[in-house]
Every structure is written in structure tokens, then in C-alpha cells.
Structure 1
Amino acid sequence: MTLQSRIQRASSYQSVATDSRVLAADPYELVAVLFEELRDTLNLMIESARRGDDARIFRYRAKALAILGGLDESLNFDAAGDLAQTLHIIYAEAAKRIQMEGRESCVERVESAREMIHEIEKAWTAIAPFH
């Protein structure tokens, strides 16, 4: 078995595990999964930028933007008011940093977006309901 086929197989297993987790998740857990997936995707985007792998940068950028869009769409402005508005602004700023072109500063921009999102993820984890 080649290294590439091992990587693809591992990726398939990870995808199945994530899919299974999503199917069994409550709304809180779904958002937690989105944060984890976003963090992992931003890490992969940073690694790809450091290697100069433009094709993977674009693929991970598209995935990260889709996840940010999902997080933004899940905001309940009626119930959360100012908090939802603040999160909307943060998600928009993170998306802006991720979308900017130019490999020279790609790593720094994506790292800053990852740090912004990581702070929200930590807060989300801190309010975890007991299951």
C-alpha cells in the first residue's frame, strides 16, 4: 500500500467518524464540531501555505469559508442580540483574512484568523452543557 493510499484511507476513516458524530449530535455539539473542523482546516491551510501548495491552500480556504458561513448562519440574532452581532463581525473578519491573496503573508493572516476563532471555541467549550 502506497503512502498516498494510506493517507486517503485515514482521511476516509476520519470523515466517517466525523459524519457519525454529526448524525448523533445535538445543536450544541454540532457547533462544537464546526469549530473543530474549522480549526483543523485552518491548520492544514497554514501547513499548505508554508509548503507553497497553492492547490491545497485554495481547497482548504473554500472549506474554511464554508464552515464560517455555517457558523454565521447558525447565529440567532433575536435570542442572542449583541453577542450574535459581535460573533457575526468576528466571523466576517476571519473570512476576510482567509480570503486575502498573496502567499507572503498568508500564514500570518490565517494564524490571526485561527486565533480569533480559537477564543470563541474556548468560550463555547467552557459553556458546554453536561451530557
Structure 2
Amino acid sequence: MTFQSNIRRASSYKSIQKNSNVLSANPYDLVAVLFAELRDSLDLMIESARRNDKGRMFECRAKALSILNGLDESLDFDAAGDLAQTLHTIYVEAARRIQAEIDVSFIERVESAREMLHEIEKAWMAIAPGAQQVDSLRRAS
């Protein structure tokens, strides 16, 4: 067996483990992982903007917007009512700030979006029954 085939096999096992962890996770943990990934993407986006690395910045922006979209689409307006509507409004505003034109106040707008979303993340972590599993789920991905 070659070195390359060993690498492929290890990668395959890791992928299976990751999928297994995600499939067995509860919805609270999955949303917590999304918030953590969103925060990381926004941090990298801000860092990339400061370094004027537009390619990386746009990549992080796309990931952040994708996660925001997923969080927004998962809202249950029938079950959560006003709370779901409030979260929707915050997600839309955060997306607007993240997509803003790149000018002198761009970083400040993204930082303000990150802070808004971080407040929601902290509240989510306070109610998530298995919040301690989030780090292991993130490492598996």
C-alpha cells in the first residue's frame, strides 16, 4: 500500500467520523456549531480586510452569508413567533452590514454585525443542553 493510499484511507475515515458526529448531534449543538463557524468567518473576514486580502475576505464573506442564510431558513415562525421574527430581522441586518460596500467604514460595519450575532450566540449557548459537545463537533469537521 502506498503512502498516498494511506492518506486517502485516513481522510475517508475522518470524513465518516465527521458525518457520524454530525448525524448524531442534537439540533442545539448543530446551531451552536453554526454560530461558532459564523463568528470565526467574520473574524477572518475582518482580519483579511485589514490586510487588504480581498480574495480571502470575499471567501469568508460568502461563508458567513451562507451560514446566516442557513440560520435564517431554520427559523420556525409558527413555533417561535415573535422571537423568530426578531432573529430574522437581526440576521437580515447582519447580512446587510456584511455585504456593505468596501469603504473606510466597512470593517466597523462587519464588527458591529459580529457583535450582534455574538450576543445571539451567547444566549444560544446558555440554553443549549449539550453546549460542551460543540468543540468536538467542530474539530470533527
- Give the TM-score normalised by the residue count of structure 2: 0.76
Query: C-alpha separation between the residues in 1 aligned to 2:67 and 2:76?
Result: 17
Give the unaligned 5+ runs of structure 2: 1-10, 132-141
Structure with larger RCO (C-alpha < 8 A, sep 6+): 2
The alpha-carbon deviation at position 130 of structure 1 amounts to: 5.2
RMSD: 2.1
Query: In structure 1, what residue type is equivalent to 2:72?
Result: D
Q: Which has the larger radius of gyration?
A: 2
Contact 2:38 2:68 in 1 (8 A): yes
Which residue does the alignment assign to 2:53?
Answer: 53
Query: In structure 1, what residue type is equivalent to 2:73?
Result: E
Which residue does the alignment assign to 1:92?
Answer: 92
Which residue does the alignment assign to 1:32?
Answer: 32
Q: What is the aligned-residue identity percentage?
A: 72
Query: C-alpha separation between the residues in 2 aligned to 1:26 and 1:43?
Result: 26
Which residue does the alignment assign to 2:110?
Answer: 110
Query: C-alpha separation between the residues in 2 aligned to 1:38 and 1:25?
Result: 18
Query: In structure 2, what residue type is equivalent to 1:128?
Result: A
- Give the TM-score normalised by the residue count of structure 1: 0.82
Query: C-alpha separation between the residues in 2 aligned to 1:77 and 1:36?
Result: 23
The alpha-carbon deviation at position 24 of structure 1 amounts to: 3.2
Contact 1:98 1:110 in 2 (8 A): yes
Query: C-alpha separation between the residues in 2 aligned to 1:109 and 1:77?
Result: 28
Aligned residues: 117
